[in-house]
Amino acid sequence: MTETVLLIGGGGREHAIARALAGDCTLYACASVRNPGIRRLAEGFETISETDTEAIAAFATDIDADLAVIGPESALEAGVADALDDAGVYAFGPRAEEARLETDKAYQRRFMRDADVPGCPDFAVFDDTDAACDYIDASDGDLAVKPAGLTGGKGVKVIGDQVTADEAKAYLQASDYDRVVLEERLVGEEFTVQAFVANGEFRATPAVQDHKRAYEGDEGPNTGGMGSYSDTSPSLPFMREGDYDAALDVIEAVVEALPAYKGVLYGQFMSTATGPKVVEFNARFGDPEAMNTLPVLETSLIDVVTAARDDDPLPAIDVSGAATVCKYAVPQGYPTDPDSGARIAVDEESAGDALLYYASVDERDDGLYTTTSRSFAVVGRGDSIEAAEAEASEALAAAGDRVRIREDIGTQALLDRRVTHMRELRE
């Protein structure tokens, strides 16, 4: 019997989830924006806001869904998993309570402290801006300033890296965040490990490195993520032996402390001179990281999610062993002053062997156009990160100059810089 699956979300991450599921189930999707890639893979696509819990549960019931997969954090925060579970449709995604691991950074740090999850930086929580500013004054700087709620990855300011202490205080004064977390600034290189979680068990996938900064050389403002790479092994070139296993220990501790957690658990780690520390958790696949992980998955995603639903042991996760490089094409000026309305000149055919994933595009009669968000991503695969990078770059050659790409992601020069950075920190 083929399962009927409802996918919630319409970005690049969800296009990758759709592709991983499409051949193995009857797929329906809903999202606030129409993603042409998902639409082509799905039997039906409804325009429904990702946070409209009632409409999503009603659509799931209409199509007689056997289960649902939730992509975006906004849906988790709104309680879409709760609404679907209550409607009798198993949701692969945590309920709002467990999703607080991502949606409330103050909860996240207190949870780590109380549950003895390793890798927690020193932190303090403030619901008063003046007190937070006093704390910044009293510290020697070197703090990360984090609004407690969701900010699309763009709310964090790191003192001594992106801003000065005075700028951080001005930022807090000018914003109206209810609560902020101030924490030890972690120094090193970041990596992501995503795991499938259900019924108190987890299955991890290879590490990925995302690039949050807008411009080459990690300059400029933070973005939703400009691209990412993964290697032929579960680890990454700058990581030390033991780092990946330390990340798995963290994930294991979270799963033990949250036995009701289901869905994807995403750990963002800083590989520091003294081992990995936790930057944050997300309660879903990363975007772009899903586009590195899902194309190399040899275990069927449908087998993972049905095992989760049926309370069966999760299948072992086999991966192809290919390295991957994902590069996003974003509108010129993104993220601060994005220029929309540029015709998209890359399609699945012109991408060749690389994979193409649509994110935010405007579908008009004569083609696809950019909006103000990330437009599309390509993923190259190969027997080395360099080979995967070459495949991705070739696919982007036709992209034109009204979109911007971080050319440096996955290049040997950038990999070498990361390795050198970590070597210097460990000396």
CB burial string 375-413: b at 16+ within 10 A, e below: bbbbbbbbeebbbbbbbbbbbbeebeebbbbbebbbbee
- Residues 177-206 contacting ligand AMP, CB under 6 A: 183-186, 190
Q: What character string, x for contact with ligand AMP (CB under 6 A) and - otherwise, covers 246-285?
A: ----------------------x----------xx-----
> Does 354 help bind ligand AMP (rule: CB under 6 A)?
no
> Does 225 help bind ligand GLY (rule: CB under 6 A)?
yes
Indicate the residue among 158 and 283 with the shorter CB distance to ligand AMP: 158
> Does 77 help bind ligand GLY (rule: CB under 6 A)?
no
Residue type, 338: P
Indicate the residue among 39 and 179 with the shorter CB distance to ligand AMP: 179
Indicate the residue among 56 and 186 with the shorter CB distance to ligand AMP: 186
Q: What are phi and psi of 23, to 5 degrees?
A: -70, -15
The distance of closest approach from Cβ of residue 156 to ligand GLY in the complex, given in angstroms and rounded to an integer, is: 11
> Does 210 help bind ligand GLY (rule: CB under 6 A)?
yes
Question: Token pair for residue 244?
Answer: 């990946």
The distance of closest approach from Cβ of residue 151 to ligand GLY in the complex, given in angstroms and rounded to an integer, is: 10
Which of ligand GLY, ligand AMP, none lies near 287, with the C-beta cut-off 5 to 8 A by kind? ligand GLY
> Does 66 help bind ligand GLY (rule: CB under 6 A)?
no
* List of E strands, 88-224: 90-92, 123-126, 143-147, 157-158, 180-184, 189-198, 201-204, 209-210, 213-215, 219-222
Residue nearest to ligand AMP (CB): 144
Which of ligand GLY, ligand AMP, none lies near 373, with the C-beta cut-off 5 to 8 A by kind? none
Cα 94 to chain centroid, rounded:
15
Residue nearest to ligand GLY (CB): 286
Question: Token pair for residue 192?
Answer: 């992501």
Q: What's the half-sphere exposure (Cβ side, CA atoms, 13 Å) at 215?
A: 6
With residue 96 as reference, give the H or E element that holds it.
Answer: helix 96-103
The distance of closest approach from Cβ of residue 350 to ligand GLY in the complex, given in angstroms and rounded to an integer, is: 26
Among 208, 188, 196, 198, CA closest to 279: 188
* List of E strands, 208-351: 209-210, 213-215, 219-222, 227-230, 263-272, 275-282, 323-331
Classify the phi-psi angles of 208: left when phi > 0, otherwise alpha if psi is within -120 to 50, otherwise beta: beta
Cα 155 to chain centroid, rounded:
15
The distance of closest approach from Cβ of residue 185 to ligand AMP in the complex, given in angstroms and rounded to an integer, is: 4
Which residues lie across from 378 on neighbouring strands? 327, 356
Q: What character string, x for contact with ligand AMP (CB under 6 A) and - otherwise, covers 122-161?
A: ----------------------x-x------x--x-x---
Sheet arrangement for strand 201-204? 201-204, 189-198, 263-272, 275-282
User: For ligand GLY, which residue of 9, 12, 153, 295 counts as binding (CB under 6 A)?
Assistant: 153
The distance of closest approach from Cβ of residue 112 to ligand AMP in the complex, given in angstroms and rounded to an integer, is: 12
Number of other residues whose CB lies within 10 A of the CB of residue 200: 12
> Does 282 help bind ligand GLY (rule: CB under 6 A)?
yes
Q: Interface with ligand GLY by CB under 6 A: which residues?
A: 153, 210, 225, 282, 286-287, 289
Q: Interface with ligand AMP by CB under 6 A: which residues?
A: 121, 144, 146, 153, 156, 158, 183-186, 190, 212, 222, 268, 279-280
